[in-house]
Structure 1
């Protein structure tokens, strides 16, 4: 029998990007721009990929590691304010089992010094010891590093 648990936690990551807010927002809203930075390790193969960026729209990604471990990312966009804010809910699965459910808020603001002040806040519930806030925060930090590189190119 599986030990059941639900651990709740919140984290916030703030960054400054030397790019206009519209460009940072587009990196989330445009599927080609998002593909440049929103991905896992190079050896992870994407099996399924859908993208419907609008309030009520859904995004789905299913990816597989070389060892056969399958990860699912299932998003519903809840609130979109162009060039300012994105709020979405998402669940993650591993080999078909739900490992977490989260609400994420992306905030994009013009910086007084130029460029964009950016923040992502995630409120999550991590299920049955299969995912942790530390793992999710590190994965999000890695994605933000990817985003910074894509905006710099």
Structure 2
């Protein structure tokens, strides 16, 4: 008898959930009042990145290795009004890095140990008269819907916009 077959279902509990995966793509363009090399540094430098890229709630752990085949892991505890505390987890892997121009990576997000979505993200940095035109393109596969699945994509898109607002704020001169 050979080794056991791998469990490819991951966090999926039954076959019906396998058929409910939803795919969405969105793009956000943002002009940042800093040159491309400074915006790139905000992604690559762990201390600067921590100023704008974090999970909601109280950070439990964070690690960042900005290199092709490196990645980032983070977890936090979050409590929304009227809900029980939740554990949030993020794990990424960098696939392509072109200094001052492009970053391509994948990531997964989990809530209380259930992988909710996986995404492929491409961040493009283009010189612009007023700094950098950043183009964020994200292709998401929602693996386990929330209680209100119609809000999953708007939530992800809105959280990304907020995060990019934080990026712009982190790059402002103090």
TM band (smaller chain): over 0.9
2:110 matched to 1:109? no
1: CA distance, partners of 2:155 / 2:130:
32
Partner of 1:88: 105
Provide structure 2 residue ranges, at least 5 long, that are not aligned to the other structure: 1-12
2: CA distance, partners of 1:101 / 1:11:
14
Alignment of 1:62-81 (within 5 A): 62-66=75-79, 67-81=84-98
Partner of 2:155: 135
How high is the TM-score relative to the length of structure 2? 0.82
1: CA distance, partners of 2:131 / 2:111:
37
Partner of 2:8: none
- Residue 124 of structure 1: which of 134, 137, 140 is its match? 140
2:118 matched to 1:98? no
1: CA distance, partners of 2:144 / 2:170:
35
Greater length-normalized contact order (CA 8 Å, ≥ 6 residues apart)? 1
Larger Rg: 2
Please state how far the C-alpha of 1:48 moved relative to its aligned partner. Answer: 1.4
Partner of 1:149: 169
1:2-53 CA distance string (max 9 Å, x none): 6511010000000111101000011011001101111244xx1111111111
Alpha-carbon RMSD across the aligned residues, in angstroms, is 1.5
1: CA distance, partners of 2:115 / 2:130:
41
Provide structure 1 residue ranges, at least 5 long, that are not aligned to the other structure: none
Partner of 2:49: 34
Aligned length: 150
2:63 matched to 1:50? yes
1: CA distance, partners of 2:99 / 2:40:
7
How high is the TM-score relative to the length of structure 1? 0.92
Q: Counting strand residues as a fraction of each chain, which structure ranks higher?
A: 1
